[in-house]
A and B are shown apart, each in its own frame.
Chain A
């Protein structure tokens, strides 16, 4: 009999950094910093996404995210949410690098407000510039295997196709293309956006993704901390199912009990 694979031995590496949790969580939309911190803790995430925004100079002593989620314990992944051009995204990440002092970033360049669908022309342009400047961009993109390959060629350290529009919670809409991206990629692939509940995260992992990034599915759950736990379990379950190798599908029934020896 094969010895069971310990789950703890499973890890993934992006841009030379190794993580054991395959769940990346956002820090937006929470009712309070306390709830946010508790959800991050429950999710087991080692990376959290953060946005870069102006400080409120009218009230400089307001509590800050860094007071609740310690950047020394959890890797902050600055994003470019809200940027609609390559130039805006690059400017934002230059500031993020100065604020945090690291080069691992999440690039997203949006095409329109209604769908928050990525603008791939601007995304590719920004990726090229960022890589030249020494950034290690994990890139939010369309679920298109050709676009994914172009991003990887441009130096993206991770490919992050959407499962469905940001904040929609509709689940993985196109399993075929996500699977194609996974098969073709030489860098980690993470589903970013579209997860609504635990089974969606498991689907992403069963497709062979290296991880899942989500925000709204946890933050807008009735009990975000409990949902964070659910997502942790789902990502682990999906990963194990992928590694275990699922059974083949049949068109008709196949009995599990022996037919021989029936009375």
Chain B
């Protein structure tokens, strides 16, 4: 079972690939509104999912991308290459974050800066009149303007760098801390200077203005216009602890030392130039001056490399050279002190894991290493495997005949026995293989359900609501296609329920409900369908509010709205772009939701119904086909043919004496355990003329089928074993036959037609 994170990462990669493809397709056809909507949904879903984890950078960038796509979708912004570039860069960044998450690397300062820059870049593309784009994401609120987006190369005074380098020499990591107090903080009695001065591990601190100083007369003395820059050796955790009351007012970056000269290209280059100067062979005019200049430069180089102790030797060499009017002694000293490049001067081992290490703009962040450990195989390939194993199962059945022929026709008893032995082996392997391939395709719904507890927990905390999640039927298995198609719709439904359905505790109590809301998700298999019921006991959907909202959005006119029944009004939530939520959040309320949910469910031939009672709650029922899911069927025989009946519909199998059947007009019935059971001959249903067979004891075989409370007895000839089959829906012309749920390939290669019991009632 994949963990939630692995699953998210796999999905995120898939979504990123689709986003990339969409972006590129859009660049070719910028007017493709379907593509724009699809792209928006992808980004929206990805953002929503990323919110489940502690990936603030990812959520921030995706949120910005989503806002941008929203503007494109609403035609407030034209799609263009610049926009595509920014979005692609943002998606690459998200990919990088996924890779890091997979390697369990946390975020670091450089990534935070990167995320802020990308988000700012994306938002920069938004049209200026985007006042209607409400941004109330906690992550975005934390992005403070100006002073915070600073230090790609923090401009710190030399003395501060000195501390950084001293800390590095002691093996400590220095961090730049920028603390930008809330301008209104004075009113709450805070003293930001005191907080700055008491920073743990403080090495250096300074303060400056945030906004340029106004004229003194216009200064608002009670508004804090200071930003504090500090260098500290405290750990990130210590810093976070220090600023725990003002978590959104500070940032920290690991400081990388500015390039030191020793072992650096700059020094090498400088030394090389001096070497070339010394090697000039025009003795005479200007030599003395040149030697002095070179000596000066070399002295500075020594100083920069922290080798002041060698100044004496340099001066001695210089004096010697000047006296001899030759560059030789100085050159000799130079080669001795700084061996020419390539001779292995020790590099200064200072890692620059901070901002300096951040990749440049335009560079791709996507690394080739650390690929996914989860193999995602194209659906078609698994289907092909399934078909092939079916053929193997059929083909192996030829072997017993071969054995019989060997024995009877050729009299090779020994050979026949060997063939039979081989057959047993092949049969076992083939069956295991079939099972294994089926396992590949089958998933329990817990695959999707497992992410619900976390989702509910996180969202209810964020929304300050109390919600109890009840889940049942997690073991209900369905085909991978179905399960995967369900994942997003179910998440949307849950988010909607939490966000819009369940009220906050105070409102609930005022309405006479328990403070803690209940959200239940139940799955069960019913015949050839998987039913999933999601219900909450929240505020329900108010048809009047829906009518109003739809009118305002111009989806229907008022006259139409007035004509709609309540249920019809409620069904308006499935209209594309419908949303009653006034604010956009990273939970829900973007107007992608129910329409996406319904179209996703319909895509897999599912149905979705929504019932809601205002004030009492909402129930959403999804019914999905099993498609390739394994179905337990009971095989029965009638008129020499075998059929399957889904086990779920079978209530019991009984043999009843012929005499107990009573006829009433054309219909027959029997009293079974005090209950009247109508009887129906399967032969009659199938249009066969043969009468139900009666066994030696004069008994009829009655298969009791149930649908809800209704019961019916189906007269058959013979019961056979129950078996697991892969039920395939009938295709083409046969697809119109409602009597059959589908067909299944049996182990012996025969095709079993599986009846649809619902048609019997």
> Do these two chains really belong together in a complex?
no
Residue ranges of B at the interface with A (Cβ–Cβ < 8 Å): none
